[in-house]
A and B are shown apart, each in its own frame.
Chain A
Amino acid sequence: MAMRGVWLMLAGLAIAGSAMVLGFVVAPGAKGFEGDSYRIIFWHVPAAWTSFLTFGMLFVGSLAWFWKRAEWGWTLAGVAAELSLLFGLCVVTSGPIWGAAEWGVPWDWTDARLNTYGVLSAIALFLVLSRRSQPDTPEFRDVFSGIGLFGFLLVPITYMATRWWQERHPGPVIGGGEENGVDSVILQIWLLAFLGMTILMIGQAMVSWEVQKCERHLAELQQRMD
C-alpha cells in the first residue's frame, strides 16, 4: 500500500507541476485581473478544493469513531487532519501573497471567506498538534472527533461565503451564475491541477494510513515486550 501511495504521489506531483507550467506558458490573461499574479489560481484554488475533500474525510472518520467506535474511522480522521493542515496551509500562505500583489494588503479581516478559511486551517492545526501531544484515550478521541465534526460545518459556509457576503475575495467563477464565466483554457488547466492535487492527496493518505497502522503495530509489540 505504501509503495502504491508513493507512486500516486509522484504521479500527482507530475500532473500538478505540469498544470502549473501550463498556467504560466499557455493560459491567457484573465479578465478583471491585471498582470500575471492571477496565475496563482492554478494551485491556490485546487489546493482549497482538495482541502475540502480532506475535511470531508475528517468528517467521515470522526463520525465513524463517534457513532460506531470504528478503529478505521479514528485512523482516517488522523490522516485527514494532517492533509487538511497541509492543503489549508498552502491556501492561507499563497492567498495573502497574492493579496499583497493584487489588493495591496495580505489579509482583510472583514472578508468572510478569508476568515472562515483561516479558522478551518486553525482547527486542522489544533487537531494535528493535539493528536501528537495527548495520550490516546477514548475521551481524547471523542473530543478530537467532536472538533473534527464541527470543523466540517465550516466547509459549506466557507464555500458559500463569497456568494453570501462578498467583500474582497474574488467571487465564484464556476457555478457562480452567467456573469462569472471563466476562459475554457484556464478552466481546463485548473481542473488538471485539481486532478493532480487529488491524486497527490490520495497517495499521501495511503502512505499516512500505513504510518498510522505501523505505529499501532509497534505500540502492540512494545506492550507485549513489557
Chain B
Amino acid sequence: MSDVAYLAAAYAVMIGLIGWFTGQLLDRLRDVQARIEAVEEAISNPKDSDE
C-alpha cells in the first residue's frame, strides 16, 4: 500500500469514530427526551395511559 493509502485509512477511521460517537450521542439525547415527554404525559393524564 502507498503512503497516501495508509494516511487515508487512518483519517477515515478517526472520522468514522468521531462521526459514530457524535451520532449516537445525539440519538441518545433525542431518545431520552422523547421518553421523558411520554412519562410526563402519563403522569399528568393517568387515565389516558391506563386505556
Contact = CB atoms under 8 A, between A and B. Distances in A.
Contacts of B17: 86, 89-90, 93
B33 to A, nearest CB: 6
Interface string A93-126: 1100110110000000000000000000000000
Interface residues of A, number: 37
A9 B10 contact: no
B6 A100 contact: yes
Interface of B is mostly: helix
B26 to A, nearest CB: 7
A194 interface: no
Interface stretch (A70-78, A143-151, A178-186, A206-214): A206-214
A11 to B, nearest CB: 13
Interface residues of B, number: 26
Contact of A94 (B13, B21, B26, B35): B13
Given A37-B6, A101-B3, A211-B29, A221 B39 contact: yes
A225 interface: yes
Contacts of B10: 40, 43-44, 93-94, 97-98
B1 A101 contact: yes
Given A36-B4, A204-B21, 5 more contacts: A47-B14, A97-B13, A101-B7, A221-B36, A221-B43
19 contacts: A2-B29, A39-B7, A40-B11, A43-B10, A90-B14, A93-B14, A94-B14, A97-B6, A98-B6, A98-B7, A204-B22, A204-B25, A214-B29, A214-B32, A214-B36, A218-B39, A221-B36, A225-B39, A225-B43
Interface of A: 2, 6, 9, 13, 20, 35-37, 39-40, 43-44, 47, 82, 86, 89-90, 93-94, 97-98, 100-101, 200, 204, 207-208, 210-211, 214-215, 217-218, 221-222, 224-225
Nearest 3 A/B pairs, CB to CB: A101-B6, A35-B3, A94-B10
